[in-house]
Chains A and B, each alone.
Chain A
Amino acid sequence: MVSSISGHQTIISVGLDIGTTTTQLVISRLTIKNVAPGSAVPRMEIIDKEILYRSDIHFTPLKDHDLIDAVAVARIVATEYRAAGLTADEVDTGAVIITGEMAKKDNARNIILSMAGLAGDFVVATAGVNLEAILAGKGSGAARYSKEKHRVTLNIDIGGGTSNIGVFREGRAIDTACLNVGGRLIELERGGDKIVFIAEPAQEVLNQAGLPLAAGDRVSLTDLKTVAQLMAECIVELISTGNLSGLTRELLMTPPLKLDYPVEKVMISGGVADYVYSDFNPMSVAEVSGYGDTGPLLGWAVRKQMKAKGVELLKPGETIRATVIGAGTHSVTLSGSTISVKEENLPMRNVPVISPFPGGVPGDVEEIKTLIERAIEQVTADGSVDQVALAMEGPQEPTFEAIRTLAKGIVRGSKSYLEEDKPLVVVLRKDCAKVLGQSLQVEIGKEAQVVCIDQVRVDEGDYIDIGKPMFGGRVVPVVVKTLVFNSSGIGSK
């Protein structure tokens, strides 16, 4: 790869989305450029995203209802690489996102194993529902719309198992929620009217509707419509009011939306979206069950429900591929500044982020030391975590004195951690990573392993992945996996 300061560089990124219903892959070329003016500290950013290849949409290969057949997934990926004319070592970075119902089970490990040879330096391998909502909103174009039009834009990605809601203001995600409503919670005989499978959340909807249906039963269009309409109502309720019905609460997988902002525009993506934006109007169960599920009917019901509520829908740039495009093009950010890490220690995966200074960086070395020690101790005590990333705003005023004090405090506070030859990872919001990184290296001395990056926003509870350095070691790909927006933690389920 070229290593000039001003030139453009490109990397090939792969996004793989393994969802409840479908598995798909997108290959994109990301153009990276130093966006800072020539006379300022370089800042590498992805300035262009070109989609080179969209795979076929495959049914997710399953061993049973929620266990992915990882070997078959790897086969799909290998086939698609061939079709795209790409070999595994041409891939620079990428993300595997396991979404919807599939994310509930421990599928990630198997996927990582089976993908090892195909995607050497893939950075991500799992997705919480919040990350999925954000990726979908970025892939659908909702995030960009919110920035270009300065309107709070809400994206609902309705897939097979879940509906992921991401709310964007000025391009940034400000809220997310996930509802266990999707098009494939009831499986039908393809082209027929026999129920093949009813997932747990759909059972709750059926109970609410008073429909005693079970797998093996034949079902009428009227009954299916009742179910789809109930599901659609839950979605509309979630985005419009804090006063939720019992069923919506039951189906929520996260805390509800905060709605402390005006919802100015609504966009729908996901596989079901195609039927929201069409004029599909089913007259028989056979018309609905073409894919072996109730997806088309849910789309029809959502369209009807939105119209009834007077919600005007924006058309997304992508529907069924929104999440995978988001995964392939938006999940990775690049960060430069100070990186001196032994090659074998990268990539680092799922590094938990801790914020040692919730009240701001203290001005005293001893205080900094104590807080760092305490924070590291808290997450590493039970032995389940061996890597941490220290996130902080940076000193109040980034003077040299304040930076030196901070560096001394951090190094003293993480003494036991550093003794195990682990790289020190510090993520700053303020523009001071070079000087802090330099000061940390001076404090630690020879062989210092430091990753110090700035202008990346992370919070306690996030996880980050740091990939292998690119461009002569000047930048590393960083993936921030935001898991929660509310500090209140888990939802009603």
Chain B
Amino acid sequence: MTLEETIRQIVEQVLSQNMESIVGQKEAAETVLSKVEGDCCAVESQDGSLEDITSVRMQEYFKVPNPVDREFYQDMKNTTPAQIGVWRAGGRPLTDTLVRFRAAHATAQDAVLNDVSEAFIREFNLTELQSACRDKDEFLTRPDLGRKLCPKSMEILQQMGKTGAQVQIIVADGLSSTAVETNMPDLLPAFLQGLEQAKISTGTPLFVKYGRVAVMDAIGEALRPEVAIIMLGERPGLANAESLSAYLAYNPRLGMVESERTVVSNIHKGGTPAAEAGAHLVDIVKQILEQKCSGIKLTQR
């Protein structure tokens, strides 16, 4: 065999091996693809409509094929809504996981960008005010304006607002309208029931569109309640867009400092349930009225 023939033979051999492995890879890829398609099909229910993938709780979404200790893994998952145990395709997330991630992101965006409905404001008999922001975009880009009331709202407040109440209730959209609409129907009646039982007087309940926490300072300055409480949606995360916070302040006024606020956060199904939070807030109001302070000072008492 000449040298040339030998080289030709080697080259052919190598080429044919490569082809085999390429064919092999293609087959593997097809298997994966068909499996992925299979998974996708599984999502489609019998009447041909797509299942809402966000309806499955992350804690129940477990994709590791052969876990050494399934029970322990599940225990770990139960402690967090984080995306653990979601498995992978090579170094990347499974298509299904990726879609879930994007769905969560979309839910978060909806929560921020949607408005609290008029029907909700009417149902709870809230007096509607607006911060100095003209629209959602300005609300998101100008936090300073979200802390003030627009001139028209200031006027409404002067006319309708009851001054000198023990507790001034304020609801605001904050960064999640979803959180407000989901939690208030259970929180507010529990809160009001408790206040009534404790014979604590309340002012005209207010709703502030495009409102941030410190808008309570402006309202406090105008109405001079003993305590103001503002309940508003928290910035949504990927795990949850329904979380609500309540901030309380004794002697709310312009220029008060952040450490004077008492906060109860994580009010949602997986955190403190809304109705329970309502009753808990009554206890805090009682403490604030009794101690005549809020925030850090209250915890140091």
Contacts and interface: CB of A to CB of B under 8 A. Distances in A.
Interface in A194-234: none
Contacts of B190: 400, 403, 435, 438
Contacts of A242: none
Interface stretch (A38-46, A116-124, A244-252): A38-46
Contacts of B277: 41
A150 interface: yes
Given A150-B69, A439-B193, A38 B276 contact: no
B193 A431 contact: no
Among A6, A37, A39, A400, residue most surrounded by chain B Cβ atoms (within 10 Å): A400
Contacts of A40: 264-266, 271-272
B184 to A, nearest CB: 10
B263 A39 contact: yes
Given A4-B299, A5-B299, A431-B276, A438 B193 contact: yes
A150 B76 CA distance: 11
A473 to B, nearest CB: 12
A437 B276 contact: no
B197 interface: yes
Contacts of B275: 398-400, 403, 432, 435
Contacts of B279: 434-435, 437-438
Contacts of A432: 273, 275-276
Contacts of B265: 37, 39-40
B301 A4 contact: yes
B93 interface: no
B105 interface: no
Instruction: Give chain A's interface secondary structure class.
Output: loop
Interface residues of A, number: 26
Contacts of B272: 40-41, 431
Interface residues of B, number: 32
Interface in B56-94: 69, 72, 75
B235 to A, nearest CB: 14
Q: Determine the main DSSP class of B at the interface with A.
A: helix
A162 to B, nearest CB: 31
B230 interface: no
A39 B247 CA distance: 10
Contacts of A403: 190, 275
Interface string B196-212: 01000000000000000
A286 B263 CA distance: 70
Interface string A407-437: 0000000000000000000000011111101
A398 B269 CA distance: 9
Interface string B177-198: 0000000011101100110010
A38 B299 CA distance: 9
B193 A442 contact: yes
B189 A400 contact: yes
B282 interface: yes
B134 to A, nearest CB: 32
A435 B278 contact: yes
B69 A398 contact: no
Interface string A232-270: 000000000000000000000000000000000000000
A401 B190 CA distance: 9
Nearest to A474: B283
Interface string B288-300: 0000000000111
A170 interface: yes
A395 to B, nearest CB: 9
Contacts of B283: 434
Interface in B204-255: 245
A44 to B, nearest CB: 14
Given A40-B264, A438-B197, A400 B186 contact: yes
A315 B47 CA distance: 60
B264 A39 contact: yes
A438 B299 CA distance: 23
B280 interface: yes
A451 to B, nearest CB: 15
B282 to A, nearest CB: 7
B208 to A, nearest CB: 21
A182 to B, nearest CB: 34
B264 A400 contact: no
Interface string A1-39: 000111000000000000000000000000000000111
A72 B121 CA distance: 71
Contacts of A439: 193
Contacts of A399: 185-186, 274-275
A45 B297 CA distance: 23
Interface string A284-312: 00000000000000000000000000000
A438 B273 contact: no
A4 B194 CA distance: 22
Contact of A39 (B197, B266, B298): B266
Nearest to B269: A397
B253 to A, nearest CB: 23
A106 B299 CA distance: 48
Contacts of B69: 150
A435 B272 CA distance: 11
Nearest to A395: B275
A438 B282 contact: yes
B198 to A, nearest CB: 9
A439 to B, nearest CB: 7
A437 B190 CA distance: 11
A400 B72 contact: no
A197 to B, nearest CB: 47
A5 B75 CA distance: 30
12 contacts: A37-B266, A38-B263, A39-B263, A39-B265, A40-B265, A150-B69, A170-B75, A398-B273, A399-B274, A400-B187, A400-B274, A435-B279
Given A6-B299, A37-B265, 7 more contacts: A37-B266, A39-B263, A39-B264, A39-B266, A41-B276, A41-B280, A399-B185
- Sorted nearest first, the 7 A-B pairs with minimum C-beta distance are A435-B279, A434-B279, A39-B265, A400-B275, A400-B186, A435-B275, A438-B279
Interface of A: 4-6, 37-41, 150, 170, 398-401, 403, 430-435, 437-439, 441-442
Interface of B: 69, 72, 75, 185-187, 189-190, 193-194, 197, 245, 263-266, 271-280, 282-283, 298-301
